[in-house]
Structure 1
Amino acid sequence: MSDPQPTPALTAEFWEGRYQDGTDRWDLGQPAPPFVSLLQSPQAPAPGRIAVLGSGRGHDALLFAQHRFEVVGFDFAPSAIVAARAAAQERGLSAQFLQRDIFELDTEFAHQFDYVLEHTCFCAILPEQRGDYVRLVQNLLRPAGELIGLFWTHGRAGGPPFGVSVTELYQQFQPEFEVVLLERATNSVEGRRNEEYLVRLRMKVQQS
């Protein structure tokens, strides 16, 4: 039996290469349908300032901008940022897109957001970075801020995308967050059907 392929170094150059060679299969070419449904529902979150991690070409970010959120998207890949900015301009939407390593955001953007949006970023980072991701979200959010996420809970080996279980989500985000919503998405795109969970997690307010 051959040895498993090593995980590639997940650098900015790696992700840019995926865009350049057309293997950016995480890009749906549209906003994720569960986010569309959420924002059209009576339970839609109130507009606020939202950080979009791994914003890609901006499909989800611009959906939230369309619903009056103040959007700042972050991505490693320069061509994704260029495409997102162009899409915002073409549609006349106000949104900011910045090329950044997300794990270097907490100093520049500490406690500046009411929300963090997650979709295909958590599954793209190495599993050993997940604790750092949780701390990053904590540091970006204002008191009682929320993480809004669509998590891919597939159980296939390897990655990226790396799968995650609902149990691990609880383990990673507690005790700092409380669950506002955690439900299996009913309108995921083909290929992710029955493998995505729509999640809203609110930062617990620390008692003095």
Structure 2
Amino acid sequence: MVTERASKVVSLLYDTAYRLGISPWDLGKPMDELVDLIEGPSALPPGRAADLGCGAGTKSIYLARQGWDVTGVDISAQALKHARDRTAEAGVDVRYVEADILDMPSDLAGRRFEFLLDFGCAHNLRNSAKSAYAKAVAGIAAPQATLYLYGFTKGPQSITREQIDNDFGPYWELVSAEPGSIRRWPDAGPVWYRMVVRDR
């Protein structure tokens, strides 16, 4: 489990990055894979969505525009400030919550989300925390909820297929694992994992 001290360090790092305008993970638009899942021929029906590690709100705003009831969650207060400003400019409604994803606040734990999006959040966790993350996210999932998780599979920031099977497997059933369409040097093997929560 990530300690409170570690969480504060992570928050400080991201706050500093957003203050300096350094956020290369924010692509400015949703990836094609997410658009296909939300708008494609087998699109998920809109419901409640949680954008885990929402950053500056790009994906939260996109989901809200597609009719989803969106809650964005991030550990960085500075990221959420950007997200709220962007959301106001976009003219959509998104609820933002400042929280450590491994320590869900009670108001989140009381909700149930049909769709949970993780664009590069879980792959930042230490390996020892990934099982706790999988359990925590399952704890806010509605029955049959979908978790759509993007992460690198190589290097210090990664979430491998083995970790999906071992750490997520008790809580989530893997539906598909597809390579990400955007691949940059150095290639860290990005993959979209699509999972469905197991019956509790």
TM range (shorter): 0.7 to 0.9
Counterpart in the other structure of 2:122: 122
List alignment gaps of at least 5 residues for structure 2: 1-5
Residue 129 and residue 188 in structure 1: after superposition, are their counterparts in 2 closer, same or farther (change >3 A)?
A: same
Question: 1:143 and 1:203 mapped to 2: Cα distance?
Answer: 7
The equivalences for 1:46-125 within 5 A come to 46-105=45-104, 107-110=106-109, 111-125=111-125
Question: 1:45 and 1:113 mapped to 2: Cα distance?
Answer: 13
Which has the larger displacement, 19-28 or 127-136?
19-28
Residue by residue, what CA displacement relative to the aligned partner does 1:36-72 show, whole Å, maximum 9, x if unpaired?
A: 2322311221111011111000111111111111100
Instruction: Please say which structure displays the higher CA radius of gyration.
Output: 1
**Contact 2:124/2:158 (CA < 8 Å) preserved in 1?**
no
**Contact 2:117/2:148 (CA < 8 Å) preserved in 1?**
yes
Percent of aligned pairs sharing the same letter: 23
List alignment gaps of at least 5 residues for structure 1: 1-6
Residue 121 and residue 194 in structure 1: after superposition, are their counterparts in 2 closer, same or farther (change >3 A)?
A: closer
Report the structure, 1 or 2, having the larger helix content.
2
Structure 2: which amino acid aligns with 1:195? G
- Confirm or deny that 1:35 pairs with 2:34: yes
Paired residues in the alignment total 194
TM-score (norm 1): 0.82
Counterpart in the other structure of 1:152: 152
Residue by residue, what CA displacement relative to the aligned partner does 1:3-32 show, whole Å, maximum 9, x if unpaired?
A: xxxx99743112211222344322222223
Question: 1:58 and 1:191 mapped to 2: Cα distance?
Answer: 25
**Contact 2:49/2:115 (CA < 8 Å) preserved in 1?**
yes
**Contact 1:122/1:151 (CA < 8 Å) preserved in 2?**
yes
Residue 194 and residue 80 in structure 1: after superposition, are their counterparts in 2 closer, same or farther (change >3 A)?
A: closer
Question: 2:188 and 2:77 mapped to 1: Cα distance?
Answer: 32
**Contact 1:150/1:196 (CA < 8 Å) preserved in 2?**
yes
Counterpart in the other structure of 1:131: 131
Counterpart in the other structure of 1:168: 163
Which has the larger displacement, 8-17 or 128-137?
8-17
- Confirm or deny that 1:11 pairs with 2:6: no
Residue by residue, what CA displacement relative to the aligned partner does 1:165-208 show, whole Å, maximum 9, x if unpaired?
A: 222212221132222332223x22544868222222111224xx
**Contact 2:183/2:189 (CA < 8 Å) preserved in 1?**
no
Coordinate RMSD, CA, aligned = 2.3
Which has the larger displacement, 195-204 or 52-61?
195-204
Which has the larger displacement, 78-87 or 102-111?
102-111
TM-score (norm 2): 0.85
